[in-house]
Chain A
Amino acid sequence: HKHQDPLERFYNGH
Protein backbone atom coordinates (compact mmCIF):
# COMPACT_ATOMS: atom_id res chain seq x y z
CA HIS A 1 0.00 0.00 0.00
CA LYS A 2 1.03 3.55 -0.64
CA HIS A 3 0.05 6.58 1.39
CA GLN A 4 0.60 10.29 1.04
CA ASP A 5 3.19 11.61 3.50
CA PRO A 6 2.80 15.11 4.93
CA LEU A 7 5.41 17.67 3.94
CA GLU A 8 6.84 17.96 7.48
CA ARG A 9 8.42 14.59 6.89
CA PHE A 10 10.63 16.19 4.25
CA TYR A 11 11.10 19.75 5.49
CA ASN A 12 11.83 20.98 8.98
CA GLY A 13 9.30 23.39 10.42
CA HIS A 14 10.63 26.62 11.88
Chain B
Amino acid sequence: MLEAKLDAASQLKKIVEAIRDMLGECNIECNETGLALQSLDKSHIVLVSLLLGSDGFSEYRCDRGVTLGLNINSLATVLRCANNDDILTLRSEDRANELILTFEDSKADRISEFNLRLMDIDQEYLAIPETEYAATVVMSAAVLQRTLRDLSALSEAVTIEIDKEGIRFSAEGDLGKGSTHFKPCVDMENAENSINITLSEPVSLSFNLQYFSNITKASSLSSTVTLQMTAGMPAQIEYKLPSGHVRYYFAPKIED
Protein backbone atom coordinates (compact mmCIF):
# COMPACT_ATOMS: atom_id res chain seq x y z
CA MET B 1 0.00 0.00 0.00
CA LEU B 2 0.92 3.64 -0.40
CA GLU B 3 0.61 6.27 2.32
CA ALA B 4 2.25 9.62 1.69
CA LYS B 5 1.75 12.84 3.65
CA LEU B 6 2.59 16.42 2.70
CA ASP B 7 2.50 19.25 5.26
CA ALA B 8 0.98 21.62 2.71
CA ALA B 9 -1.44 20.68 -0.08
CA SER B 10 -0.06 23.60 -2.09
CA GLN B 11 3.05 21.51 -2.86
CA LEU B 12 1.03 18.98 -4.87
CA LYS B 13 -1.32 21.62 -6.28
CA LYS B 14 1.61 23.49 -7.84
CA ILE B 15 3.06 20.30 -9.33
CA VAL B 16 -0.28 19.34 -10.87
CA GLU B 17 -0.71 22.86 -12.28
CA ALA B 18 2.73 22.53 -13.89
CA ILE B 19 1.79 19.38 -15.84
CA ARG B 20 -2.00 19.36 -16.32
CA ASP B 21 -2.09 21.38 -19.55
CA MET B 22 0.15 18.84 -21.26
CA LEU B 23 -1.06 15.55 -19.85
CA GLY B 24 -4.43 13.82 -19.90
CA GLU B 25 -4.23 10.38 -18.35
CA CYS B 26 -1.00 8.93 -17.02
CA ASN B 27 0.49 6.44 -14.60
CA ILE B 28 2.26 7.50 -11.43
CA GLU B 29 4.63 4.75 -10.31
CA CYS B 30 5.12 4.52 -6.54
CA ASN B 31 7.77 2.54 -4.75
CA GLU B 32 9.85 2.84 -1.59
CA THR B 33 12.01 5.61 -3.09
CA GLY B 34 9.07 7.87 -3.99
CA LEU B 35 6.66 8.75 -6.80
CA ALA B 36 7.64 8.97 -10.48
CA LEU B 37 5.78 9.87 -13.65
CA GLN B 38 6.91 9.88 -17.27
CA SER B 39 4.39 10.89 -19.89
CA LEU B 40 4.20 12.40 -23.37
CA ASP B 41 1.80 15.17 -24.27
CA LYS B 42 -0.83 14.35 -26.92
CA SER B 43 1.25 15.70 -29.80
CA HIS B 44 4.46 14.05 -28.54
CA ILE B 45 6.32 17.38 -28.54
CA VAL B 46 6.91 17.48 -24.78
CA LEU B 47 7.73 14.63 -22.41
CA VAL B 48 7.11 15.31 -18.73
CA SER B 49 9.26 13.51 -16.17
CA LEU B 50 8.38 14.02 -12.52
CA LEU B 51 10.26 12.63 -9.55
CA LEU B 52 9.03 13.13 -5.98
CA GLY B 53 11.49 11.49 -3.62
CA SER B 54 10.17 9.93 -0.40
CA ASP B 55 12.29 12.50 1.55
CA GLY B 56 10.05 15.25 0.17
CA PHE B 57 7.09 13.90 2.19
CA SER B 58 6.66 14.40 5.93
CA GLU B 59 5.60 10.75 6.15
CA TYR B 60 6.04 8.14 3.42
CA ARG B 61 5.34 4.44 3.24
CA CYS B 62 5.15 2.20 0.19
CA ASP B 63 5.98 -1.44 0.86
CA ARG B 64 5.57 -2.69 -2.69
CA GLY B 65 5.22 -1.05 -6.08
CA VAL B 66 1.87 0.60 -6.79
CA THR B 67 0.79 2.09 -10.14
CA LEU B 68 -1.71 4.92 -9.92
CA GLY B 69 -3.45 5.39 -13.29
CA LEU B 70 -4.85 8.91 -13.03
CA ASN B 71 -6.64 11.51 -15.05
CA ILE B 72 -4.58 14.58 -14.17
CA ASN B 73 -7.49 16.96 -14.65
CA SER B 74 -9.62 14.91 -12.24
CA LEU B 75 -6.77 15.07 -9.73
CA ALA B 76 -6.59 18.85 -10.22
CA THR B 77 -10.36 19.12 -9.68
CA VAL B 78 -10.17 17.26 -6.38
CA LEU B 79 -7.11 19.22 -5.24
CA ARG B 80 -9.07 22.44 -5.70
CA CYS B 81 -11.10 21.32 -2.67
CA ALA B 82 -7.97 21.51 -0.47
CA ASN B 83 -6.75 24.72 1.13
CA ASN B 84 -3.12 25.50 0.38
CA ASP B 85 -1.99 24.94 3.97
CA ASP B 86 -4.04 21.78 4.57
CA ILE B 87 -2.13 18.63 5.47
CA LEU B 88 -2.60 16.28 2.51
CA THR B 89 -2.44 12.49 2.64
CA LEU B 90 -2.47 10.16 -0.37
CA ARG B 91 -3.48 6.55 0.28
CA SER B 92 -4.00 3.53 -1.92
CA GLU B 93 -4.32 -0.11 -0.92
CA ASP B 94 -2.56 -2.82 -2.92
CA ARG B 95 -4.48 -3.57 -6.12
CA ALA B 96 -7.14 -1.02 -5.15
CA ASN B 97 -9.00 0.85 -7.84
CA GLU B 98 -9.03 4.15 -6.00
CA LEU B 99 -6.73 6.79 -4.59
CA ILE B 100 -7.91 8.30 -1.30
CA LEU B 101 -6.97 11.92 -0.65
CA THR B 102 -7.52 13.52 2.75
CA PHE B 103 -7.19 17.24 3.45
CA GLU B 104 -6.81 18.21 7.11
CA ASP B 105 -6.97 21.59 8.75
CA SER B 106 -5.69 20.74 12.24
CA LYS B 107 -6.70 24.15 13.67
CA ALA B 108 -10.30 23.91 12.52
CA ASP B 109 -10.62 20.18 13.16
CA ARG B 110 -11.76 19.69 9.57
CA ILE B 111 -11.00 16.54 7.60
CA SER B 112 -12.20 16.11 4.01
CA GLU B 113 -11.83 12.84 2.16
CA PHE B 114 -12.08 12.24 -1.57
CA ASN B 115 -11.83 8.95 -3.45
CA LEU B 116 -10.49 9.21 -6.98
CA ARG B 117 -11.14 6.31 -9.34
CA LEU B 118 -7.99 4.79 -10.82
CA MET B 119 -7.71 3.63 -14.41
CA ASP B 120 -5.74 1.00 -16.32
CA ILE B 121 -3.62 3.06 -18.67
CA ASP B 122 -1.54 1.52 -21.41
CA GLN B 123 1.26 4.02 -21.65
CA GLU B 124 4.10 4.60 -24.07
CA TYR B 125 7.52 5.11 -22.55
CA LEU B 126 10.56 6.61 -24.22
CA ALA B 127 14.09 5.63 -23.27
CA ILE B 128 16.00 8.84 -22.72
CA PRO B 129 19.75 8.33 -22.75
CA GLU B 130 22.07 10.13 -20.32
CA THR B 131 23.14 13.11 -22.39
CA GLU B 132 26.02 15.57 -22.19
CA TYR B 133 24.45 18.75 -23.50
CA ALA B 134 26.44 21.34 -25.47
CA ALA B 135 25.04 24.22 -23.42
CA THR B 136 23.64 24.48 -19.91
CA VAL B 137 22.07 27.68 -18.60
CA VAL B 138 20.83 28.21 -15.03
CA MET B 139 18.68 31.30 -14.70
CA SER B 140 15.70 32.75 -12.84
CA ALA B 141 12.53 30.79 -13.59
CA ALA B 142 10.43 33.97 -13.38
CA VAL B 143 12.70 35.83 -15.82
CA LEU B 144 12.49 32.98 -18.35
CA GLN B 145 8.69 32.92 -18.05
CA ARG B 146 8.44 36.70 -18.50
CA THR B 147 10.83 36.74 -21.48
CA LEU B 148 8.88 34.05 -23.33
CA ARG B 149 5.55 35.69 -22.53
CA ASP B 150 6.78 38.98 -24.00
CA LEU B 151 8.00 37.32 -27.21
CA SER B 152 4.78 35.33 -27.65
CA ALA B 153 3.10 38.64 -28.56
CA LEU B 154 5.24 38.65 -31.73
CA SER B 155 5.35 35.08 -32.94
CA GLU B 156 4.42 31.45 -32.32
CA ALA B 157 8.10 30.50 -32.17
CA VAL B 158 11.16 31.57 -30.23
CA THR B 159 14.77 31.05 -31.21
CA ILE B 160 17.24 30.55 -28.37
CA GLU B 161 20.93 31.10 -29.07
CA ILE B 162 23.53 30.30 -26.42
CA ASP B 163 27.19 31.20 -26.77
CA LYS B 164 29.92 32.41 -24.44
CA GLU B 165 28.56 35.97 -24.61
CA GLY B 166 25.22 34.89 -23.13
CA ILE B 167 21.76 33.62 -24.00
CA ARG B 168 19.56 35.36 -26.57
CA PHE B 169 15.82 34.88 -27.08
CA SER B 170 14.35 36.19 -30.33
CA ALA B 171 11.06 36.09 -32.23
CA GLU B 172 9.86 37.47 -35.53
CA GLY B 173 6.29 37.89 -36.78
CA ASP B 174 3.99 40.06 -38.90
CA LEU B 175 4.31 43.12 -36.68
CA GLY B 176 8.09 43.01 -36.46
CA LYS B 177 10.75 41.35 -34.40
CA GLY B 178 12.16 41.42 -30.89
CA SER B 179 14.90 39.91 -28.81
CA THR B 180 16.25 39.81 -25.27
CA HIS B 181 19.87 39.07 -24.49
CA PHE B 182 21.21 38.05 -21.07
CA LYS B 183 24.90 38.08 -20.26
CA PRO B 184 26.28 35.63 -17.72
CA CYS B 185 26.28 37.30 -14.29
CA VAL B 186 26.57 36.61 -10.59
CA ASP B 187 24.12 38.32 -8.23
CA MET B 188 25.54 37.91 -4.73
CA GLU B 189 22.45 39.29 -2.98
CA ASN B 190 19.83 37.37 -4.95
CA ALA B 191 21.47 34.19 -6.14
CA GLU B 192 18.40 33.20 -8.18
CA ASN B 193 18.96 36.23 -10.43
CA SER B 194 22.42 34.99 -11.48
CA ILE B 195 22.84 33.61 -14.98
CA ASN B 196 25.30 30.77 -15.23
CA ILE B 197 26.33 29.39 -18.62
CA THR B 198 28.35 26.22 -19.18
CA LEU B 199 29.22 25.67 -22.81
CA SER B 200 31.13 23.18 -24.92
CA GLU B 201 29.86 24.69 -28.19
CA PRO B 202 27.38 27.41 -29.23
CA VAL B 203 23.80 26.25 -29.85
CA SER B 204 20.79 27.71 -31.61
CA LEU B 205 17.34 26.07 -31.51
CA SER B 206 13.75 27.18 -32.17
CA PHE B 207 10.71 26.15 -30.15
CA ASN B 208 6.96 26.57 -30.20
CA LEU B 209 6.01 29.28 -27.68
CA GLN B 210 2.64 27.80 -26.69
CA TYR B 211 4.26 24.60 -25.45
CA PHE B 212 7.06 26.62 -23.84
CA SER B 213 4.55 28.75 -21.99
CA ASN B 214 2.88 25.59 -20.62
CA ILE B 215 6.29 24.35 -19.45
CA THR B 216 7.04 27.60 -17.61
CA LYS B 217 3.91 27.12 -15.49
CA ALA B 218 6.36 25.14 -13.32
CA SER B 219 7.96 28.47 -12.34
CA SER B 220 6.02 28.45 -9.06
CA LEU B 221 7.94 25.31 -8.03
CA SER B 222 11.47 26.68 -8.10
CA SER B 223 13.25 30.04 -8.19
CA THR B 224 15.65 28.83 -10.89
CA VAL B 225 15.37 26.74 -14.04
CA THR B 226 18.08 24.75 -15.83
CA LEU B 227 17.94 24.82 -19.64
CA GLN B 228 20.08 22.29 -21.49
CA MET B 229 20.47 22.24 -25.25
CA THR B 230 22.36 20.43 -27.99
CA ALA B 231 21.95 21.22 -31.70
CA GLY B 232 19.25 19.07 -33.33
CA MET B 233 18.17 17.42 -30.07
CA PRO B 234 15.28 17.97 -27.66
CA ALA B 235 16.03 20.50 -24.93
CA GLN B 236 15.92 19.44 -21.29
CA ILE B 237 14.28 21.97 -18.98
CA GLU B 238 14.42 21.23 -15.27
CA TYR B 239 12.81 22.74 -12.20
CA LYS B 240 14.32 21.32 -9.01
CA LEU B 241 12.09 20.31 -6.11
CA PRO B 242 13.21 19.97 -2.47
CA SER B 243 13.53 16.22 -3.14
CA GLY B 244 13.20 15.51 -6.85
CA HIS B 245 12.41 17.46 -9.99
CA VAL B 246 9.96 18.28 -12.75
CA ARG B 247 11.75 17.85 -16.04
CA TYR B 248 10.55 18.49 -19.57
CA TYR B 249 12.09 17.11 -22.78
CA PHE B 250 11.04 19.51 -25.52
CA ALA B 251 11.35 18.74 -29.25
CA PRO B 252 12.71 21.69 -31.25
CA LYS B 253 11.43 22.97 -34.56
CA ILE B 254 13.23 21.40 -37.51
CA GLU B 255 13.71 22.60 -41.09
CA ASP B 256 11.58 20.68 -43.62
Contact = CB atoms under 8 A, between A and B. Distances in A.
Interface of A: 1-14
A3 B253 CA distance: 5
Contact of A14 (B45, B46, B126, B253): B126
Counting chain A CB atoms within 10 Å of each CB, which of B129, B206, B254, B255 scores highest?
A: B254
A10 B44 contact: no
Nearest to A14: B127
Given A2-B206, A13-B124, A13-B126, A7 B249 contact: yes
8 contacts: A2-B206, A4-B254, A6-B44, A7-B46, A8-B44, A10-B233, A12-B126, A13-B126
Contacts, number: 57
Given A10-B233, A10-B234, A4 B127 contact: no
B40 interface: yes
Interface string B235-253: 0000000000000010111
B71 interface: no
A1 B206 CA distance: 12
Interface in B146-161: 157
Given A11-B127, A13-B126, A5 B251 contact: yes
A3 B254 contact: yes
A7 B233 CA distance: 9
